[in-house]
Structure 1
């Protein structure tokens, strides 16, 4: 019987050994990421709870001549589209509303399959996992745009501030990125092998 490969979580050395510690950096070796499903579920639930205030609370506050106007993500998308900037409105809508929701639903499906509560196509779920992991780095586009606006437009007449929704949105992005990182995709194949 083949020994399972163990991957060091620190230096990423793959070892086929019965030793409990990495021969390179002396960290403990695991066959699978410890408590992967529990950690991923905790991060996913936190991201799901914060997704609501991220879309309801103002993400940006603009003060002009003492008058304040706040925008949520959706009102910002509508304002951009109304100003004739439809391509930018589409990018903001996809990056800020569609992608985080897609990641939350996708990670939920991965967790359901890996825990045995739902059976899907393992190969497609593996591709879904890779896509979620890849798209995660593009999710901070809105926060980047707000920070650029804040740094560019700090005049006496016009001031732009990040609202509470921006904090919640950044937390959703970080939590979903961490959830995809803590999920051990090899659990999908373990479940597939158990059904063979």
Structure 2
């Protein structure tokens, strides 16, 4: 009999393959992952089309999307920051969406290809995904710094809200995906 002391599930056993703690299954894992993933994919478009921030300086208004912000940073000679923004704000969300899409489809189509590799893909995706918030933190810091000085005005645009939603939704999609589903196909094969 399992008695829960807190909201966090307790480990019942250890995995015979990797020796990590095994927890209870996530209810409706695939349905939840699909819902979060589809919402993230839908919001990824406005996150990249709409301005992520608007700068008003000396009467001139300049709005930047994520990509135009990367190009602006490159034009200003800030190659390292441009690379960080590109990786965290463009590359990571796309790769995370594609990997999660692949994992969910591989489970639903009962693909048996390299479950160990797919499990590692999931773990890396879950770990790396939260670094996409770097862009939102940069905007927050920039707004706070500029508000302290009266020379310019910086405001977050609608793209920032959509981008933050994409990051949060992909994090929720990764958290709701149960990687044990990858291994279930092998269990079904041995039971038949």
Q: Specify the TM-score bucket, using the shorter chain as the normaliser.
A: 0.7 to 0.9
CA RMSD in angstroms comes to 2.1
1:187 corresponds to: 181
Report if aligned partners of 1:57, 1:163 keep a CA contact under 8 Å in 2: yes
Note the C-alpha offset of 1:10. Answer: 2.2
| C-alpha separation in 1, matches of 2:156 and 2:186 | 45
1:40 corresponds to: 33
Query: How many pairs were matched up?
Result: 179
Note the C-alpha offset of 1:72. Answer: 0.3
1:147 corresponds to: 140
Higher helix share: 2
5 Å matches for 1:1-196? 10-15=7-12, 31-116=24-109, 118-154=111-147, 155-196=149-190
TM-score norm. by structure 2 comes to 0.87
Note the C-alpha offset of 1:191. Answer: 1.7
Answer 1 or 2: higher relative contact order, Cα 8 Å, separation at least 6.
2
Report if aligned partners of 1:7, 1:14 keep a CA contact under 8 Å in 2: no
Note the C-alpha offset of 1:122. Answer: 0.7
| C-alpha separation in 2, matches of 1:188 and 1:11 | 23
TM-score norm. by structure 1 comes to 0.85
Report if aligned partners of 1:72, 1:165 keep a CA contact under 8 Å in 2: yes
